[in-house]
Structure formats: C-alpha cells, structure tokens
C-alpha cells in the first residue's frame, strides 16, 4: 500500500469516527426547524421533555448551528431549547437595520427580536416559569439587556461576554463563560463578579442578597472554540440546574475535536481524489524572480486599497461587501496584468476539474460545515450577493492560483499575507466605514488554509486556471454566506 492510499484510508476512517461521534450528540434529541415572525428557529428537546425553556442566541456573523453544542447538551439534560438566527444572520432573510453604533439603534431591534422569540417559545411550550437566556459574544449584550427589561427572563448564561448594562445588581442570576485565550473578555468577567463581591475572581460563585454570579474559564479555548468547551457546557447545565432546582445526569461529550477531525479528513481526502482527475496540467512554471515577485506582491497590495477607498457605494445589502468586491477585483486584476507582463498567464482549463472542486468544496465540505459548525447555505437574497462578490473573487483567486503554482512555501505564505496586509491598510485609510473588514480576515485565512490546499492539488492535475475558477466561486460563496445582511432603511 502506498503512502497516498494509506492517507486515504486513515482519512476515511477518521471521517467515519467523527461522524459517528457528532451524530451521537444528536441521537435521541427531537430537532425541528421552523419560522416564527420571520425568525428561523431550531427547537431541540428530548421526546416528551417538560423542563424549563432556554432561548439560545449566537454572536456576530454567527448562526444557530454554531450554538448547537450547548443547545444539544441542554436538550439532553431535559431543557426545551430554542435557538434562533438574528436578523441578517444565518438563514434569516430580514436584514439587520438601525445604527450599529447606538444602543437605541440595531441593539434595540435585536432585543425586540429576542423578546418575540421568548413570547413564541413560552406560548408554544406552554411554559409558565422564567425563561433562561444563553448567548455568545454580540448576543451577550442583547440577552443581558433583554433580561433587565423583561420580567419573564430568569437565569442568564453569557459566553465571551461584554455588556455595559451589567451592574452590581443586574442581572441578578448570571454565569459568565470565557475562553482561556480571551484575555480582555476574561477581565470583563472578573469585573462583573467583583461588582458583587470585591476581590472575587474566576471559579468563584458569589452572592449578595438576590444576586448570584459566577465567572469560569474554558481551558484551551478562544472566541470560537469556547462554543465547544466541555467545561463551559457542563458549567452551563449546572448553573441552570441550580437556578431551577433541578438535577441533571448528562455526559458532556467532546464535539470540537471531532468536528475538526471531520473537516480535516474531508480536506485530506481531496488529495487522493484529485489524483483521479486526468493529468493535463501544463508544466510547472517555477517561482518568479525576486524583483518580479516583489512587484507582483507590493503593487496590488498598495494600489487596491488606495483606489478602492475612493469609491463609496451601498449596492449590496451586506456590511462592507461593496468595498470587498472592488478590493478583490482590483487586487486580482493588477496581479494578473503584472504576471501577464512577466509571462505568467492563467492556463490549464478542465471543466471536470472545476466541477469536482466545486462539488467537493461546497457539496461535501459545505454540507458537513452547515450541519455541525456554521451556516453555509444561502437564502435566495444572498445569491445575488454571491454573484456580485464573484466579480471580485474570480480575478483575485485566478491571480493567486497563477502566482502560487510552483512557488516555494515562503512565497505562498507571503502572497497570502500580502493580501491580508492590504485589507489592513484599507481599514487604516477609512476605519469608520471599513472596520468590519477586520472580521473578514479570519474567514480569508481559513479559506486559504482549507480550500487553498484542495485547490493546490487540483491545480497539480488540471492547471491553475481550473483551480482559480473554482476557488473564486467558492470564495464568493463563503463570503456571501458569512457576513450579515444589513440595510439601514429597514425597520425590522
């Protein structure tokens, strides 16, 4: 058995094990999806469950799927869980609106939406007790303010929290869970506990009259991994059990490592599958010379933001999407023009290779991501956004595929780093308008890490043009489904 065949077997076995573990987390739980007042809902509960209702909210650029590790554990503990997509997020077709910089703007509209979900949950479940709220990141401010205003709300679990609404007395029942690597947010959690009992810190439960508060740390976790923390999920169950006078006997299972194993296995399987494509790639051209590479890297990195920031449009109902499409287009077209001058051109087109990468990247990797990690399927409104983003993503990824074909590792790393630096320059040039570009950087980085590998293997068989075309469409798709719909003129 060759090492490639061994890799394929190991990856296939890992994928099967991961699927078995991840499906085990869902096994036995009734999971239903429906819509309430334009808000997509996923209800999770054991058959016949009559426990308290918990409403679960995600963070900025998140979705219901990102919260399912907490939701499924709470469901298996007997709670009736309602997870929902905020306006503009996931599969919610209603854009975010209002002023994102004002409490009485976008925040107020999202608080109202949360209240509508609570109303629907209470009515449908026939629940007469206090509803628990659990949220992550952006949602922590929303659920805390909801708790302060809505007498129907009981305990609050805030993951990666920050909210200026927290005081020494409100909310009166609050658990704060923070990843070990979220230094600033850990500081906020400690301050929230110290408001009640000066000097108290992480791992302590403090009480003063009617106020109960606790801050805990999820080890080896950052802002996303905290959503799969076994420590955090166990703490959430224990906290709600204490608040409701219940006792749960639930084994909190590992989900994060198995999710990563599944995604890694799907990527790894792309290597042997790519070798099934007909070998038709043109000869590897080799790396550009030092001066040529420097020009191809620096000229678009500087010119694209300098030119693009001069254009201010609001054609696409997604935050910074207009700018990003233009930046990608300019960056890619300038790189393609320079490389054409140096004799490096996008060649090697095979339709079967383009389709194979699209099917594997969207149909296999995308389906797994959507089921276990984060929303990856667009609503009809987002299809036009994806099409518009592809006008920039296609030349950008074509240039990237040509530039990195045959290049040494250091040049590939510098090439991708140059683009991220270019986005950073754009933010510095127009911080107020383009601040949200900073949140796109992790998406781009993961795209290069995951899809860049798959594209490299396809390019080796079919050429840079095939890989670049497919990756351009996938990049437009990934960006189009990741960022919130936003329309200031919509009142929600």
Taking only the tens place, the pLDDT of each residue in 133-154 is: 999 999 999 999 999 999 999 9
Which one, of 389, 418, 392, 391, lies nearest residue 403 by Cα?
A: 418
Tokens of 152: 């129907």
pLDDT band at 492 (very low <50, low <70, confident <90, very high): very low
Which one, of 476, 482, 490, 376, lies nearest residue 95 by Cα?
A: 490
Task: Return the pLDDT at 101.
Answer: 72
3-class secondary structure, 368: helix
In DSSP notation, 63-89 reads -GGGGHHHHHHHHHTT-EEEEEPPTTS
- Domains of the chain in start order, with CATH, are 26-253 (3.40.50.1820), 277-482 (no CATH)
Which one, of 333, 371, 354, lies nearest residue 473 by Cα?
A: 354
Task: Return the pLDDT at 490.
Answer: 52
pLDDT band at 489 (very low <50, low <70, confident <90, very high): low
pLDDT tens across 421-440, in order? 999 999 999 998 888 888 88
**Looking at residues 227-246, what average pLDDT do you find?**
97
pTM for the complete prediction?
0.93
**In whole angstroms, what separates CA 119 from the centre of its chain?**
28
Name the pairing type of β-strands 53-57 and 173-179. unpaired
Task: Return the pLDDT at 394.
Answer: 98
Q: Which positions ≥6 away from 338 have C-beta within 8 Å?
A: 292, 295, 296, 299, 300
Q: Tell me what the pLDDT averaged over the chain comes to.
A: 94
Q: How far apart are CA 122 and CA 130, in angstroms?
A: 9
Under 8 Å between Cβ of 64 and 80: no
Q: How far apart are CA 132 and CA 134, in angstroms?
A: 7
Task: Return the pLDDT at 333.
Answer: 97
pLDDT tens across 254-280, in order? 999 999 999 999 999 999 999 999 999
pLDDT tens across 155-186, in order? 999 999 999 999 999 999 999 999 999 999 99
Element holding 153 (H helix, E strand): strand 153-159
From 8-17, 297-306, 479-488, the region with the lowest mean pLDDT = 479-488
Q: How far apart are CA 144 and CA 146, in angstroms?
A: 5
What are the distances in angstroms from CA 91 to CA 140, 305, 380, 478? Answer: 20, 31, 9, 14
**Looking at residues 368-381, what average pLDDT do you find?**
95
Q: How far apart are CA 135 and CA 111, in angstroms?
A: 12
Q: How far apart are CA 353 and CA 349, in angstroms?
A: 8
How many residues are given for the chain? 492
Under 8 Å between Cβ of 236 and 70: yes
Task: Return the pLDDT at 278.
Answer: 92
pLDDT tens across 184-231, in order? 999 999 999 999 999 999 999 999 999 999 999 999 999 999 999 999
Task: Return the pLDDT at 235.
Answer: 98
Q: Examine the pLDDT at 314 and tell me if it is beyond 90.
A: no
**In whole angstroms, what separates CA 395 from the centre of its chain?**
25
Under 8 Å between Cβ of 149 and 111: yes
Under 8 Å between Cβ of 332 and 398: yes
In DSSP notation, 239-302 reads HHHHHHT----------HHHHHHHHHHHHHHHHHHHTTS---PPPP--PPPHHHHHHHHHHHHH
Tokens of 237: 């169950």
Check whether the bond before 171 is cis (ω within 30° of 0).
yes
């Amino acid at each position: 058995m060759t090492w490639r065949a061994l890799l394929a077997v190991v990856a296939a076995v890992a994928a099967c094990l991961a699927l078995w573990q991840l499906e085990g987390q869902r096994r036995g739980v009734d999971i239903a999806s429906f819509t309430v007042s334009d808000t997509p809902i996923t209800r999770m509960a054991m058959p016949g469950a009559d426990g308290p209702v918990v409403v679960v909210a995600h963070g900025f650029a998140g979705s219901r799927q990102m919260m399912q590790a907490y939701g499924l554990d709470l469901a298996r503990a007997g709670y009736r869980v309602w997870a929902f997509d905020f306006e503009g997020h996931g599969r919610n077709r209603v854009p975010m609106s209002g002023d994102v910089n004002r409490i009485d703007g976008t925040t107020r509209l999202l608080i109202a939406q949360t209240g509508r979900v609570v109303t629907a949950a209470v009515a449908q479940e026939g629940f007469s007790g206090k509803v628990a709220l659990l949220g992550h990141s952006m949602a922590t401010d929303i659920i805390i303010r909801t708790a302060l205003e809505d007498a129907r709300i009981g305990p609050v679990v805030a993951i990666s929290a920050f909210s200026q609404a927290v005081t020494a007395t409100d909310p009166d029942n609050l658990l704060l869970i923070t990843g070990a690597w979220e230094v600033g947010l850990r500081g906020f959690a400690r301050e929230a506990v110290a408001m009640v009992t000066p000097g108290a810190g992480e791992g302590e439960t403090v009480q003063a009259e009617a106020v109960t508060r606790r801050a805990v740390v999820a080890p080896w976790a950052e802002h996303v991994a905290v959503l799969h923390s076994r420590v955090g999920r166990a703490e959430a169950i224990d906290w709600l059990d204490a608040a409701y006078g219940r006792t749960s006997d639930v084994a909190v299972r590992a989900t994060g490592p198995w999710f990563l194993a599944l995604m890694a296995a799907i990527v790894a399987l792309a290597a042997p599958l790519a070798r099934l494509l007909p070998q038709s790639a043109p000869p590897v051209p080799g790396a550009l010379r030092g001066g040529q590479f420097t020009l191809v890297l620096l000229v678009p990195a500087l010119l694209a933001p300098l030119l693009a920031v001069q254009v201010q449009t609001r054609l696409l109902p997604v935050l910074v999407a207009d700018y990003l499409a233009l930046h990608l287009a300019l960056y890619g077209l300038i790189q393609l023009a320079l490389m054409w001058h140096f004799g490096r051109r996008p060649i090697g087109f095979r339709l079967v290779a383009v389709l194979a990468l699209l099917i594997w990247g969207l149909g296999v990797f995308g389906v797994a991501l959507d089921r276990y990690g984060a929303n990856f399927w667009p609503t009809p409104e987002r299809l036009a956004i994806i099409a518009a983003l592809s006008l920039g993503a296609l030349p950008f990824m074509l240039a990237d595929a040509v530039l990195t074909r045959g290049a040494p590792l250091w040049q590939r790393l510098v090439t991708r780093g140059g683009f991220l630096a270019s986005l950073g320059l754009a933010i510095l040039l127009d911080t107020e308008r383009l601040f949200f570009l900073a949140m796109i950087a992790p998406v781009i980085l993961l795209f290069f890490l995951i899809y860049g590998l798959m594209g490299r293997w396809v390019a080796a068989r079919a050429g840079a043009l095939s890989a670049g075309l497919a990756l351009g469409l996938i990049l437009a798709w990934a960006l189009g489904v990741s960022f919130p719909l936003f329309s200031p003129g919509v009142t929600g």
